[in-house]
Amino acid sequence: MKVLAIGATGFIGQNVLPLLIDRGHEVAVLHRGETVQSPPEDVREIRGNRDRLTDCRAELERFAPDVILDLILYTEQQTQQIVDIFRGTGGRVVAVSSGDVYRNYDGFRGKATAPPDPVPLLENAPLRETRYPYRGHEMNFGYAQDYEKILVEQLLLGEPALPATVLRLPAVYGPGDRQHRLRPYLQRMTDRQAQILLEEGQASWRWTRGFVENVAAAVALAVMDPRGVGHVYNVGDEPTFTEREWVERIARVAGWGGDVVAVPRSELPDDLRQPVDWRFHLWTDTAALRFDLEYVSPVPLDEALRRTVEWERSGLGE
């Protein structure tokens, strides 16, 4: 099978490519050639800008992919280009989306339009009623102005001549994580603080997470298994822990013997207060992926945390 991978030289993609190659698939990667991480030797490279796919349309059509895997599909305009080029070619799309499409995400950010939705969130849970969640925010993200995964999903799933599978990813962590999701807690453990303070609501708040290799395995499975066509799947590790449980798991792996303490917001130091509403959980139900495509996470939690803690500590100078 021929697979065109867009955005596959980054954190998640570099874990997906070996899985596809090892199964004997012919893989081409579209990239600008500006990333530090180069594709594996067995991968064909197509140089191009994903925002201007028409510039390399002829080469994309010559490759004639059976599956288009897009890991960095952020905007409606990008999605329209994918549809325009590959509609009616016999190929299908696997698109990476996000849990930020759910209405609870608006509530979590203090923009609630409704009470918290029941969790865990199924794929048919209510979506955000607002659009462009990062527009107007100062952030190091070039697509913040036009980023909208809801529009990406709707455009793809509404095109009958281009079958699609959508994967809503969780908070992804692991070696190579540029957001360093474990570092705030691990730093305090490394500094041998006696306590880690959490706001009371935060201590019981749940956010689905996924180790990068487990997420990559889910992505590769969706690429290889056409049974996912027409479906949206939540991706993530099981179980989804409370924040307190998550910190305690990190502590166990890191060898930290301090206490995780929940305190009222009024007693929390200013630098630990976050402008969010902890009543809105970002806990998603991943059962559909496990049932429909028989997905199994390859890396157990303790091993995932061990590898991540080891990698983070190398950056903390331990």
Q: What is the pLDDT of residue 47?
A: 94
Number of structural domains (the chain) is 1
Q: Please provide the size of the chain in residues.
A: 318
**DSSP assigned state of 242:** B
For every residue of 250-279, DSSP letters joined together read HHHHHT---EEEEE-GGGS-GGG--SS-TT
Domain with 256, as residue range(s), is: 2-315
Model confidence at 70: pLDDT above 70: yes
Q: What is the mean pLDDT of residues 52-60?
A: 96
Q: CATH no. for residue 139?
A: 3.40.50.720
- Residue carrying the six token digits 């949206």: 232
What is the C-alpha separation between 251 and 306, in angstroms, rounded? 11
Burial grade of 270 (CB within 10 A; 0-12, 13-18, 19 or more): exposed
What is the C-alpha separation between 236 and 229, in angstroms, rounded? 19
Q: What is the pLDDT of residue 122?
A: 99
Q: What is the pLDDT of residue 317?
A: 60
Q: What is the mean pLDDT of residues 180-196?
A: 96
Q: What is the mean pLDDT of the chain?
A: 95
Render pLDDT for 231-281 as a digit per residue (tens, 0 to 9).
999 999 999 999 999 999 999 999 999 999 999 999 999 999 999 999 999
Secondary element (H or E) of residue 149? helix 149-157
Model confidence at 38: pLDDT above 70: no
* Structure tokens given for 86: 């590959």
Q: For 285-288, which contacts have Cβ atoms below 8 Å and span 24 or more sequence positions?
A: 285/120, 285/121, 285/122, 285/123, 285/234, 286/208, 286/233, 286/234, 286/235, 286/236, 286/238, 288/122, 288/123, 288/231, 288/233, 288/234
* pLDDT confidence band for 34 (50 / 70 / 90): low
